[in-house]
Amino acid sequence: MIIIVFIVMLEASVNAKYANVFLNATIETIKISIFSIAMGFAIGVVVGLGRISNNFLIKGISTVYVEILRGTPLIIQIFIIYFGTPQFGIQFDAFTAGTLALGLNSGAYQAEIIRGGIQSIPKGQMEAARSSGMSYLQAMRHVILPQGFRLIIPPITNEYVTVIKDSSLAYSIGAFEVTYWSLKIIAYDFQPFTTFLFAALIYFTLTFSTSTIMNMVERKFRIPGYMGAE
């Protein structure tokens, strides 16, 4: 802890004149991360449910989505959305393109996490709900998903940390986030070691806060007497 504070002070003094730049860059990184995490979650719920659907068309589309987005490099996905879409007359700015690509990509991973969470709920839970007269959707909404979401908190935290780190790839299309500005600052003021270290520190602060908050969420929603809880 003390070491971290020391490094922060050191870095801050070195980079003091760029404080404003880094602040804005950090805000941009946070915005990209939050938007793509939220978008990925919405996609994740829909595609995750689609993956376990009995309808083979829905299941097929969901599976193809997951496999393609998981099986191709994120940087190519970013390039396709930023450089590729203008071919069809659509031009996103760097922020939007980066966020879209990250969100679509994270959606595939979150879908798999959500599918896994749902499928690890014992079959008896769905049967008990259906046998009392609840519809499939009611059972999903009130029995399966609430339990599933508690189970997926650890793996989905991992995914959120990954999204925050991967948002750095948006530098490549010129989104004004932390990595982009670090490179710019180094070009002006040749101090790559301290500048990159400072950038790393910013990312770490964001990821560490995220996992800390998610741990608190997990504790808050822990089910008494269930799944390792006290």
Partner 1 sequence: MATPVIETRNIQKSFGDNKVLKGISMKVMPKEVIAIIGASGSGKSTFLRCMNRLNEPDGGDILFEGHSIMGKDIDIDLVRSQMTMVFQSFNLFMHLSAKRNISLPLRQVKKLKKEEADRLAMEALDKVGLTDKADAYPGEMSGGQQQRVAIARAFAMHPKVLLFDEPTSALDPQLIGEVLEVMKKLADMGMTMVVVTHEISFARDVADHVIFIDQGLILEEGPPKEMLINPKNERTRQFLKRVLQEENLPPLPQ
Question: What sign has the CA pseudo-torsion 9, 14, 15, 19?
Answer: positive
Q: How far apart are CA 210 and CA 62, in angstroms?
A: 28
Rounded to the nearest 10 degrees, what angle do helices 19-51 and 56-71 cross at? 150
Nearer to partner 1 by C-beta: 78 or 143?
143
CB of 99 to partner 1, least distance (A): 33
CB of 147 to partner 1, least distance (A): 5
Amino acid (one-letter) located at 111:
A
Nearer to partner 1 by C-beta: 74 or 139?
139
CB of 150 to partner 1, least distance (A): 7
Nearer to partner 1 by C-beta: 5 or 227?
227
Nearer to partner 1 by C-beta: 12 or 126?
126
CA angle 205, 193, 9 (to 5 degrees): 50
Nearer to partner 1 by C-beta: 99 or 147?
147
CA angle 20, 23, 26 (to 5 degrees): 150
Q: How far apart are CA 144 and CA 48, in angstroms?
A: 13
CB of 146 to partner 1, least distance (A): 5
Q: How far apart are CA 187 and CA 122, in angstroms?
A: 56
CA angle 52, 41, 28 (to 5 degrees): 160
For partner 1, the binding residues (CB under 8 A) are 122, 124-125, 127-135, 138, 142-143, 146-147, 150, 223-227, 229
Nearer to partner 1 by C-beta: 17 or 123?
123
CB of 38 to partner 1, least distance (A): 24
Residue in 172, 181, 216 with CA at minimum distance from that of residue 202:
181
CB of 135 to partner 1, least distance (A): 5
